Amino acid sequence: MSIRLATKKDAQTIHDLHTESVTGLCNLYSNEIIEGWLKGRTPDGYKGIDKNEMYVYEIAGRIVGFSHVVPGEIIAIFVSPDHAREGVGTKLLKHAIPLAKRGWDGPVKIKATLNAVPFYESLGFRKIADSVSPRNGIEIPIALMNSVEE
C-alpha cells in the first residue's frame, strides 16, 4: 500500500476508476445526472497529473484510489467501489490535507459529492453550503465544505 504522484501513464486507469466510482458509489444521483457528469470525459482531462497535483493509492501495484490537491482545496478523492470502506479514502484525505495547507492560510475547501458528505464530516470537515456543479447542461448537486480549524 502506498500513495505516490500520478504519472501520465496512470491517466487511463484514473479515468476508469473515476467512472467506476461515480457509477458504483454515487447512488444519491439520478442516472441522468451521472450520464451528464461523465459525458465527454477522457483520460486527457486529468490536467492535474502534469502539474504534480494528483496522487494515486496503490495496493499490490494496482491503483484503487486517487486524489487531486491544490493549495487551499482538495479537488477530488475517488475510490474504487471494490475498495470502498477499507480506509483508502481516509488515507488519501489525510495525505491531501497537509498538501492543501502548504502555502495556504485558512480552511481547506472541498466540493463534495452528496454521498461523500458524511465521510468528510467524520474526518473534520463541515458543510457550509449547498451548491451545484454544472456539466454538459446538467447541474450536479454538491456540498461546499471546509476543514474545521483548531
Q: So what's the pLDDT on residue 79?
A: 97
* Rounded-to-integer distance, Cα 85 and Cα 8, Å: 27
Q: Determine the straight-line distance between the first and last CA of the chain, rounded to whole angstroms.
A: 30
Q: So what's the pLDDT on residue 18?
A: 97
* Rounded-to-integer distance, Cα 48 and Cα 6, Å: 9
Ordered structural domains, the chain, with CATH: 2-147 (3.40.630.30)
For residue 45, CA distances in Å to 12, 15, 18, 50, 68 come to: 10, 9, 12, 11, 12
Q: So what's the pLDDT on residue 144?
A: 98
Tell me which residue of 92, 57, 77 sits closest to 145, measured CA to CA: 77
Q: pLDDT 10s digit of each residue in the chain, 150 long?
A: 899 999 999 999 999 999 999 999 999 999 999 999 999 999 999 999 999 999 999 999 999 999 999 999 999 999 999 999 999 999 999 999 999 999 999 999 999 999 999 999 999 999 999 999 999 999 999 999 999 865
Q: So what's the pLDDT on residue 101?
A: 95
